[in-house]
Amino acid sequence: MITANLDGKRVFVTGGTSGIGLACVRTFASMGAVVVANHLPDDTQATSVISALSRDGYAVSGIAGSVAEPEEVLKCVEHAIHRLDGLDYLINNAGTPGTTEPIPPEDLDKMTEEFWHLILSTNLLGCFRTAKAAASALRSSGGAIVNIASIAGLGTQGSSIAYAASKAGVVNLTRSLARALAPNVRVNAVAPGQTATPWTEGWSDQRKQIAIDKSVLKKRSQPEDIAEAVLFLCAGASMMTGQTIVVDGGMTL
């Protein structure tokens, strides 16, 4: 794991109480940053997760709100910036597959208007909403944004047509925001492969093994692997913007 001195850095992580988001919260807080972790209002585990991090000595607090709801996003970002007295890094991690099982591309009947709305409003518009709300604070600090995309947005199948399209949108949005917020704010993305998160842990051993077999490193990504790439793009990579880094153990080689 790479390390950095993040004393005094102020971080807002959406979807920050499980999986990749939680790994990002823990990684940044362990290096001295003050972190606000966003979570869904109905996340029953969020309070205990935040409390555990605080007991471990990390400067972490939580804030509830859905990135799929414009008014909630604005309130969350404003409250986080007020609580942190500014913002250095925004990590747009919140997202949803919208399904517990992958939906084959040919099953178009499951791609309903409601399903598309959920996926796009959360995965794509959610990233834009938080970035827009945080733009002024990030310009003031000369900060950075990292969006969590997916290899599904780079041509692999993903959990559904809608999910893959939303993540392709995140990749494109990253480039557009990099132009829009330059030169003060850098905007990059990380595209994970199959990662050991709460969503994938319920999958069969056979399905998990497929990802391992496809990986030239012969292992699945862990949330900490993704967090390490996020850390690099925030605390280093001073000449990188508009880029998407693939972290998949070589699944897409």
Strand, helix or coil for residue 195: strand
Active site residue 163: yes
- CB atoms under 10 Å from CB of 54, counted, come to 14
Decide: helix, strand or coil at residue 224: helix
Q: What angle do CA 127, 7, 196 make, to 5 degrees?
A: 45
Q: What is the pLDDT of residue 100?
A: 86
Q: Per residue of the chain (253 residues), what is the pLDDT tens digit?
A: 778 899 999 999 999 999 999 999 999 999 999 999 999 999 999 999 999 999 999 999 999 999 999 999 999 999 999 999 999 999 999 999 999 888 999 999 999 999 999 999 999 999 999 999 999 999 999 999 999 999 999 999 889 999 999 999 999 999 999 999 999 999 999 999 999 887 777 777 888 888 899 899 999 899 999 999 999 999 999 999 999 999 999 999 9
* DSSP structure class, residue 110: G
8 Å CB contact between 38 and 16: yes
For the whole model, what pTM was predicted? 0.95
Q: Which of 12, 58, 89, 163 is an active site residue?
A: 163
Residue type, 230: V
Sheet holding 244-247, edge to edge: 60-64, 34-39, 10-13, 89-92, 144-148, 186-192, 244-247
- In this predicted structure, what is the pLDDT of residue 112? 98
What is the per-residue pLDDT for 242?
Answer: 98
